[in-house]
Structure 1
Amino acid sequence: MAKYNKSELLIVDAYNVIGNWEHLNRLKLDNKLPEARDELIKELSEYQKYSGKEIIVVFDAMYVPGLAKSKKVKNIQVVWTNKNETADTYIESLATREQSLFTQVEVATSDHAEQWTIFSAGALRIPDQELLTSVRRTKKEIRNEAKNYNSNLTGNRITFDEGQLDKLTALRDKLSKNE
C-alpha cells in the first residue's frame, strides 16, 4: 500500500497575530498598521519558502472596510474579508472546507473560541507565539545554511600535502618580507 503525505495549509488570523507579536504590535500602536501587515507577510513568506506549507493570511475588514479581495503576495495568499464578515468566521469556514484526508489544516491564532471551533473541525491550532518561535527558528536556520554555503564557496578547493603547504607558507613569508 502506497503512503501519501498530506499537504499542509497554515491559515493565519492576521490581526490576532499582529496584536500578539510584540514587534508588529509596536508598529500598530505607532499608527503604522500597513507596515505591520507588510512585515507579517514578509516574515511568513520567508517561513513559507523554507517550510513548504501553503499559507493563507486572513485580514478582516474591520480596519480596511470595503476591500473584500484575495491575491497572492510573495507566495502566500492574502485574503481581505467582506465588510460584514469577520476573519474568525472566514477562517472557520475555510478550515472546515479544506481539512481532509489529503490536507492538514493548521490555524495560527490565540483566540481561544476560534481554537476550539478549528479543533472540532479536525484542524490543528497553533498559538501565535508558537508560530513566532517557528518563524524565528526558520530565520536562524536560513542564516546558518547561507553562512555554511558561503563558507564552502570561499573555502580552499585545492588540496595540498603537508610539504606543499610548508613551501607555500615559506614563499608567503618571503614575499611578505620583500614588501
Structure 2
Amino acid sequence: MGEILLVDGYNIIGDWPELKELKQYDLAGARDLLVEKMAEYQAYSGMKVIIIFDAHMVPGIGKKYNNYRLEIIYTRENETADERIEKLVKKLKRVDTRVYVATSDFVEQSVTFGYGALRKSARELRTEMGVVEQGIEREVKKSKKREKTTKLPITDEMAEIFEKWRRGDM
C-alpha cells in the first residue's frame, strides 16, 4: 500500500520551535530547512512527501517544484494551502493509497479526515522526525563501523598502521 504525506508548510514552520525562530528573520531559510527535513523523512520512511505553501507568502503564480525528490507546491494567488490540500486528498485517496495530512489546523484536520485522509499534528510529525534523525544517525554510525572492519584477522593497531600506509601518512 502506498503512503503519501501532505505537509501544510507554513503551519509546520509556525509550530516547530527551530523553524518558528528562523522564520522571524529568514522565511526562505525556514522553508529550505523544512524541505531538507522532509526529504530525510521521505528517504527514511519510504513515504512520498508533498509540501504545500500558501502563495500569499511568495508572490507570483502557483508553481510546482521537485527538490530532493520531494514535490513542493506553491498555491495560486487566491488559493490557500488548505484548499489545495483538500483537492489533493480527493485526488490521491484511493483504496491502495493511504494519505496523511500534517497540520495543526484543527478545521483542516477535520475536513481532510472527512475526505478519508489520516491526520498528523505538527507536534506528532516533529516527534517522528526526531525518531527519523536518530535512525539516520544510527545507520551512519553502523556504516562507518562496517567500513573500518577488515576480513584479515589482525589487531586494530595493525589495521590502523595499514590504513596510514594506504593513505600515504607514513
Per the shorter chain, which TM-score range? 0.7 to 0.9
2:5 corresponds in structure 1 to 10
1:57 corresponds in structure 2 to 51
Across the two proteins, how many residue pairs are aligned to each other? Answer: 156
Return the match for 1:117 from 86, 111, 115. 111
Q: Which runs of 5+ in 2 are unaligned?
A: 159-170
- Pairing of 1:1-179 with structure 2 (within 5 A): 6-30=1-25, 32-159=26-153
Deviations 1:121-162 (A, max 9, x none): 1110000111111112111111111101211221243236xx
Q: Which runs of 5+ in 1 are unaligned?
A: 1-5, 169-179
Paired with 2:28 and 2:147, the residues of 1 have a C-alpha distance of 39
Structure 1 consecutive aligned stretches of length 4 or more whose deviation exceeds 3 Å: none
Paired with 2:113 and 2:86, the residues of 1 have a C-alpha distance of 10
Tell me the amino acid that sits aligned with residue 130 of structure 1. Answer: E
Q: Tell me by how many angstroms 1:85 deviates.
A: 0.3
Q: Tell me by how many angstroms 1:65 deviates.
A: 2.5
Q: Tell me by how many angstroms 1:67 deviates.
A: 3.4
Relative to the length of structure 2, the TM-score reads 0.87
1:176 corresponds in structure 2 to none
The percentage of counterpart residues that share the same residue type is 38
Relative to the length of structure 1, the TM-score reads 0.83
Q: Which has the greater radius of gyration?
A: 1
SS at match of 2:143: helix
Paired with 1:59 and 1:94, the residues of 2 have a C-alpha distance of 13
2:167 corresponds in structure 1 to none
Q: What is the alpha-carbon root mean square deviation over aligned residues?
A: 1.4
Tell me the amino acid that sits aligned with residue 106 of structure 2. Answer: H
